Structure 1
Amino acid sequence: MNLLIFSDLDGTLLDHASYDFAPARPMLAWLAAQNVPVVLASSKTGAEIAGWQARMGLGRWPAIVENGAALLEGAPDDTGYRAIRAALTTLPAPLRAHFRGFGDMSVAEVAEVTGLPPGEAALAKQRAHSEPGLWSGTEAEAEAFLAALAPHGLSARRGGRFLTLSQGGTKAGRMAELIARFRPELTIALGDAPNDTEMIAAADRGVIVRNDAGTPLPRLAGEDSGRILRTTRSGPEGWVEGLTRILRQTGIATTGEAHG
């Protein structure tokens, strides 16, 4: 089965509130038995992703970390993160005050804003390539904030909870690197947030997983043709729903074969 799957984590393969992925376990086991790579693509750090790969049995595959800033392969280098933090210190105080990044927070504060237990919150602070944070200003102030960071080579992407700063790289860009490496016949991408849209659109088949707690995704071009579908369920149940529908439509497997 020459299939390659790219999946977001929070709100997609993981429940938005509880971070549970139990409903997806049978599908993940079935995919593993078929030797289908499932590449996790998330805003999470390499340290966090490695833990989820271990829990899900996905450790043999690469992963896309920190919103596409890098691939999880080899030892992390935090040079990029230190440059982001240095750039923040150059901003006018009124603009800087509206952005509270993970580097500005204690482990307890990161745990509070993410809903993660303290141990995982500590891993979320071990950043190498990007800085997520809470934005408290207006849209106009956000534009000024990003314009001030642009000369430092920084840009931002919005996810389900955070505004994330990085020196570039997207989930879709890393996805293209892995497609060139694996040369699959079919690619499937699943996500729930605005920072997933490029990845979903770049796949042969895409799945927008329902997330009533997040920012609604606009209608994507591939939805009219049926290349991209939306699920009726959320989180891991929606993840299974979307994959099952595509596997049935493409003749790869029926619902029962896929996760029964």
Structure 2
Amino acid sequence: MTRALPLLVFSDLDGTLLDHESYSFAPARAALAALAEIGAGVVLATSKTAAEVAPLRAALGLAGWPAIVENGAGLLAAGAEEGFDDSVYRAIRKTLRQLPQGFCAFDGFGDMSDAEVARVTGLPRAQAALARRREFSEPGRWTGTPAGLEKFLASAGKAGLHARRGGRFLTFSHGQTKADQMAALIAQYTPRMTLALGDAPNDIEMLEAADRGVIIPNPHSRPLPRLPGEDSGRVRRAETPGPEGWNAAVLALVQDVKHNKEAPSDG
């Protein structure tokens, strides 16, 4: 009989499992080892592309698990080094180019060079090149007026594109979220319990969808608003930011799993 997966963890990367400044995950090594010891799975869930995630996933020792990429617009299969197929991305770009030109003041990553993406993101140029290897979504900047933006978004919506506004970029996709991909993976792996960890607004749906959620504090941005799950204790806030907070929160839950103190909620 196959042993049931005791725990499936869904984790954001930047500012959560990775340090916001150094991008190191070293402080989380103990928790990663503890998860491996109990046979738990770890699914990375990030805005990064598959090209960016594949080497990170391997370095973390998580290549045997799928990863949610481009904010849920796509999935990097377990064991895949990249599996690059930009047909969906090219279709999104084509739709954006066909929108009424009077509305169009949108500069996507596909309109920029590696150097330009490095400048607007703060990434090293090699990483910016990987960020431009997109398969499922197109981020970019709106350079027009607020009124023009609303018209542009309305046109994009009618054309079947979903827009998500972030701190720096406006991203177009076909509408899947981290929580959507999470639901499919839960159905596939049927874990006894799920845990989600994140630090940003685009993690909220994932945090609320898990049996247990942990908000990692981010000193570089405004705190997330209080979530409904916090009232019941199903969603908690880590005490320290980045991989240190991730490590402490995961180790605490692993101990509860080992001692059968924690169980998924009925709802």
TM-score by length of 1: 0.88
Task: Choose the corresponding residue for 1:34, options 34, 38, 57.
Answer: 38
Q: What is the deviation of 1:235?
A: 1.4
SS in 2 for 1:224: helix
Rg larger for: 2
SS in 2 for 1:53: helix
State the distance in 1 between where 2:177 and 2:22 align. 26
Q: 2:199, 2:218 within 8 Å by CA — same for their partners in 1?
A: yes
2:241 is matched with 234
SS in 2 for 1:64: strand
Q: 1:160, 1:194 within 8 Å by CA — same for their partners in 2?
A: no
Change (3 A) 1:236 1:181: same
Q: What is the deviation of 1:140?
A: 5.2
Q: What is the deviation of 1:106?
A: 1.4
2:24 is matched with 20
Q: What is the deviation of 1:224?
A: 0.8
Q: What is the deviation of 1:214?
A: 2.9
Larger deviation, residues 236-245 vs 61-70: 236-245
Give unpaired runs (5+ residues) of structure 1: 255-260
Q: What is the deviation of 1:168?
A: 1.6
1:204 equivalenced with 2:211 (yes/no): yes
The residue correspondences of 1:96-107 to structure 2 (distance < 5 A) are: 96-97=104-105, 99-107=106-114
1:176 equivalenced with 2:180 (yes/no): no
SS in 1 for 2:240: strand
State the distance in 2 between where 1:219 and 1:141 align. 33
State the AA in 2 paired with 1:2: P
Change (3 A) 1:62 1:19: same
The residue correspondences of 1:1-260 to structure 2 (distance < 5 A) are: 2-73=6-77, 75-93=83-101, 95-97=103-105, 99-135=106-142, 141-159=148-166, 161-248=168-255, 252=259
TM-score by length of 2: 0.86
1:257 is matched with none
SS in 2 for 1:100: strand
State the AA in 2 paired with 1:242: A
State the distance in 1 between where 2:100 and 2:137 align. 21
Give unpaired runs (5+ residues) of structure 2: 262-267
Q: 2:34, 2:251 within 8 Å by CA — same for their partners in 1?
A: no
State the distance in 1 between where 2:201 and 2:147 align. 19
Change (3 A) 1:222 1:61: same
Report the number of matched residues.
Answer: 253
State the AA in 2 paired with 1:22: A
State the distance in 2 between where 1:252 and 1:124 align. 42
Using the aligned pairs only, state the percent identity. 59
1:258 is matched with none
State the AA in 2 paired with 1:211: N
Q: 1:229, 1:242 within 8 Å by CA — same for their partners in 2?
A: no
SS in 2 for 1:54: helix
State the distance in 2 between where 1:207 and 1:140 align. 37
Larger deviation, residues 211-220 vs 31-40: 211-220
State the distance in 1 between where 2:260 and 2:59 align. 25
Q: 1:17, 1:115 within 8 Å by CA — same for their partners in 2?
A: no
